[in-house]
Amino acid sequence: MAGWRFRVHRRDEKIRNPIQGEFFSEEAVERPAQALVREVVQNSLDARTTEEPVSLRFSVSSAEGMSGEAAAFWLAGAFEHLKAPDSGLRGVPAGPGPGRYLAIEDFGTTGLDGDPRALRPEETPSRLFAFFRAEGISQKGGKDGGRWGVGKTVFLRAGTLNTILCLTVRDGKPRRLVFGQSVLRYHHVNGVYYTPDGAFGEDDAGQGAGESAILPSEDPALAERLIRNFGLSRRDEPGLSVVVPCASEEITGEAIADAVMREYFYPILTGRLTVTIDDPALPGGTKTLTAESLLEQLMASKDLTANIKPLAALTVSLHREGFGRALSLAPPKKGSPAWTEAMIPADIRQDLAARYRAGDTLLLKVPLTVQPEGGEPAETHFHMVLRRDLSDRGAAPAFVRNGIQIPKALERRVRGQNLWALVLIEDRPLATLLGDAETPAHTHWSKDTQNFKGKYKYGSAVLEFVKTAPRFVAETLAEAARERDFLSLAEYFPLPEAGPARAAPSARLAAEAARDVPRPPAGLVPGGERYRIEGLEGGFRIATGAKTPALEPLTVLVAYDCTKGDPVRRFRPEDFDLAKLPRKVDGASVVFCEGNRLSLLPVGRMKLEITGFDPNRDLLVKLLEGAPTEAEE
């Protein structure tokens, strides 16, 4: 029968108090749910089985979501250890009772594959062994997210009892397994001293050489009871479900949603991930984040507007157009990589500079070479998406490795540049190197990590090369643009109309006039308007002006004019439906379109055309930056 077991400490055995959870303390991550979300998403993306998106579910229960009966069944065998005075836990009740729980489930993954009877690391990677039996041992590498083998401690830290229960379904046999873990301190119960680790499962004495072990349970009734007691969605789909009894009050549905949107907008918007959050405290009780709904959430969120929304817009633009349009730069010189102007060829530098100054989105492919110590060099690359912020200060560049954002890779804005930048690392050789340089919480890159130090030739230079890419390219293009700056004062001194050339007032100016100075690049229109609204036959056009605003959401309200009252308020559904009229959109993503209202998110220089209106009626078009207020609606 399944139950809890803590191993008695031998007298000659080292006394050990686990500290691996400190890697995920609030000093390593800024928000309570951030480390949990980061580890869960990383593990699930690593275990993705198809090109279909991984589906994640976070379920936060009410204050007594875990019944007293469920608590007694699943926790009674461990409680004398949990409430031991030297267990390291605080505020443990006298016995198991009703409480709040957190359930985390992934779908579209492999589950924890591997032999449940294996007690030693094997050559064949086993996610079950690494999760259930190992600490500080990881069998991941290459494009996988984890390296340290301590990330699973964030599940334990999400509750006040440092205890979890798990159900995994795999493609192999046995298909369904139930097990549990509890990590305390070296402690004593009734005068007997125990090691920190406790395990829930079936006791098996058939391991040989006098060894016995707790194995995950194959009992189907136990799996069904776990599903029933904690409202799990899993039935027989491959994946992993983790239950955290007595969940921390800091782990809320709102905190989880905030962490997902801040950290994982990229895999969601590119179709790799969907996240559902159930919490009775959330409006509606459930929030689902998909590529479509995330844009709506970002538009509605004031807290995320400043830093995430423009980066999300760059992601949408990239996903729509693909990496195939990326402009390849020249590779750095052999040896220790370093940025030079020669990497941005002179024949395209001026064009890139003009586009950068105009606020266009630039997609660049940067070639690079990675060489392990004692190994052969490997050609690799990364991509960089840049956009100059024409109306604000921009933000620190965002670095994303295999869908994982590294938030502290570079925490400051590029000095002197109002810039939005995404650096995307997907190619295996470079992704492996950067993964090895990550700290356990995956918050930044360090040349001194155990997995990285001494492993790569020119490894430190590669780190610096990747981190300084946005700064170097932005500064180089800005400097090139200054050489041919046609529009700095265009708002105040418009270009003169074409006419007879005037004599230069000095020899120096005469010499400059004789040079073959090109006209302003096509598409750059002097003037200061943010958007232009123009009439078309049977419709209208809205286009970005010369003074491109930040990538803020736009709302378009349309109505036929009337003699009395506000035409927008007096709109009638039988007049027209924007969703059914011919529409062309460039440089923006449509988030909502119905009736007389359309909401979109610009991703660059934007143009919207809608036709099909009654030509015999006057059309009123109202453009609002941001979602309309109730009064405006």
Do 35 and 184 lie in one domain? The reply is yes
Kindly report the number of other CB atoms within 10 A of residue 560's CB atom: 18
Main-chain dihedrals φ then ψ at residue 536, nearest 5 degrees: -125, 165
**Do 397 and 416 belong to one domain?**
yes
pLDDT at 368 over 80: yes
Which residue, of 305, 325, 355, is where some domain finishes? 305
pLDDT for position 33:
83
Alpha-carbon distance of 424 to 365, in angstroms, equals 10
Predicted pLDDT at 633: 45
Whether residues 144 and 244 fall in one domain? yes
Residue 492 confidence (pLDDT) above 60: no
Residue 125: pLDDT band (50, 70, 90) is low
436-485 pLDDT, tens per residue? 998 776 778 888 888 888 999 999 999 999 999 999 999 999 887 665 55
- Which range of 54-68, 428-442, 483-497, 578-592 scores highest in mean pLDDT? It is 54-68
Residues 278 and 338 in one domain: no
| Statement to judge: residues 76 and 107 lie in one domain | yes
User: What share of the chain has pLDDT > 70, as a percent?
Assistant: 82
Confidence label for 211 from pLDDT (cuts 50, 70 and 90): low
pLDDT grade, residue 35 (50/70/90)?
A: confident
In angstroms, the CA 124 to CA 111 distance is 16
Instruction: Enter the tokens of residue 495.
Output: 């270009």
Same domain, 214 and 116: yes
Range of the structural domain that residue 585 is part of:
531-625
For position 19, what pLDDT does the model report? 52
Look at residue 195 and tell me if it is in a domain.
yes
**pLDDT the model gives residue 522:** 35
Pair (301, 178) in one structural domain:
yes
The pairing of strands 213-215 and 187-189 is unpaired
More confident of the two residues 32 and 167: 167
Predicted pLDDT at 204: 80
State whether 429 and 280 are in the same domain. Answer: no
Confidence band of 556 (pLDDT split at 50, 70, 90): very high
Secondary structure of residue 304 in the 3-state scheme: coil
The average pLDDT across 87-101 equals 91
The domain boundary residue, chosen from 305, 332, 347: 305
- Written as six digits, the tokens of 511 are 């010499």
Average pLDDT of the residues in 6-35: 67
Which of 38 and 268 is assigned the larger pLDDT? 268
| Residues ≥6 apart with Cβ < 8 Å to 61 | 100, 101, 102, 103, 230, 231, 247, 280
Mean pLDDT of 489-507: 42
User: Is residue 508 a part of any domain in this protein?
Assistant: no
Is the pLDDT reported for residue 541 higher than 70? yes
| Domain-located, residue 560 | yes
State whether 105 and 201 are in the same domain: yes
Q: What CATH number has the domain bearing residue 150?
A: 3.30.565.10
The answer to whether position 363 is within a domain reads yes
Q: Is residue 296 predicted with pLDDT exceeding 50? A: yes
Mean pLDDT of 398-413: 84
Q: Is the model more confident about 272 or about 146?
A: 272
Give rounded-to-5 percent helix, strand, coil for the chain.
Answer: 25, 25, 50
Residues 363 and 456 in one domain: yes
Percent of the chain with pLDDT over 90: 45
272: left (phi over 0), alpha (psi -120 to 50) or beta: alpha
* pLDDT value, residue 91: 85
pLDDT at 431 over 80: yes
For residues 532-550, average pLDDT: 81
Whether the pLDDT of residue 199 is over 90: the answer is yes
The answer, yes or no, to whether the previous bond of 174 is cis (omega within 30 of 0) is yes
> 62, 466, 529: which is closest to 285 by C-alpha?
62
Q: Is the pLDDT of residue 210 over 60?
A: no
Domain assignment present for residue 518? The answer is no
Q: How many structural domains comprise the chain?
A: 3
Q: Residue 26 falls within a domain, yes or no? A: yes
Mean pLDDT of the chain: 82
Quick: pLDDT tens for 329-338: 999 998 999 9
Q: Are residues 255 and 156 in the same domain?
A: yes
pLDDT of residue 206: 58
371 neighbors 456 (Cβ within 8 angstroms): yes
Q: How many whole angstroms separate alpha carbon 47 and alpha carbon 144?
A: 9
More confident residue, 287 or 140: 287
Q: What pTM did the predictor assign? A: 0.73
State the Cα–Cα distance between residues 555 and 571, nearest whole angstrom. Answer: 16
- For the residues 369-384, what does the mean pLDDT come to? 95
Assigned domain for 147 exists? yes
Any domain includes 264: yes
Q: Which of 251, 286, 305 is the last residue of a domain?
A: 305
Are residue 275 and residue 377 in the same domain, yes or no?
no
* Confidence check: pLDDT of 520 > 80: no
Candidate from 191-205, 308-322, 379-393, 603-617 with smallest mean pLDDT: 308-322
